[in-house]
Every structure is written in C-alpha cells, then in structure tokens.
Amino acid sequence: MDLSQQEWWEKAQQDENAVVLDVRTDDEFNRGIIPGAINIDIYKGQSFIYQVEELDKSKNYYVYCAAGARSGKACSIMNELGFKNTYNLAGGISQWSGPVEMPG
C-alpha cells in the first residue's frame, strides 16, 4: 500500500509493531536514513528474499527507497512471502521532508 509521506510517518510513529525498512544499497543507506531504519538491499536478489524471510511476519513494515519504485516492489515481494502489512513511502527518501540521521 502506497502512503503519502505524512501518513506513512504518522502511522509508523503510532504503530508499536512498526519496523522501518530501507531497501536501498549500502552506499545509499550510508548517506542518511529515516530514523530507526534497518537495511536490506533489494538489488541483492535472492539474498534479499533470504534476509526478508528472517523477519518477523507479525510486524508492520514501513518500506522506503530513493524514489518509491524499489520499495513498491519490495512490498509486493513481502506480501507474496506472507507479510500482511507493508506500507510503501510514496516518493521515497528523495522527496522526504521528515527527519534523517546517519546510520550506526
């Protein structure tokens, strides 16, 4: 499900079961993230699927990338793998006006 920035962030903040997932590359991730994000690079193909399979399917995933296309694809893959609640950040971090921090 695609959500606007404001809706995505508000929902994530109010959700005790929220996990923020960044599906960009390591290089992109290291340039700045939405606070609390974990990183699994969708470009890693099968490795992405293996890593996502390790995640708790009972949680709600707030997924983003640079512009919204990769994260939309990630949400579709996750839904196919049995994740019930995945929320795509429309426009991605490139249009993000909320908080950004350095990882680590």
Phi and psi torsions of 86, nearest 5°: -130, 135
Residues 38 and 33: their CA atoms lie apart, in Å, by 9
pLDDT digits (tens, 9 = 90+) for 54-98: 999 999 999 999 999 999 999 999 999 999 999 999 999 999 999
Place of tokens 């680590």: 104
Q: Check pLDDT > 90 for residue 104.
A: no
Classify 64 as helix, strand or coil.
strand
Among 34, 65, 66, 90, the one annotated catalytic: 65
- pLDDT the model gives residue 28: 98
Residues 73 and 16: their CA atoms lie apart, in Å, by 25
- In single-letter form, the type of residue at position 14 comes to Q
- Domain positions in the chain are 2-94
Residue 75 falls in the annotated catalytic set:
no
Decide if 74 contacts 65 (C-beta within 8 A).
yes
- What's domain 2-94's architecture? 3-Layer(aba) Sandwich (3.40)
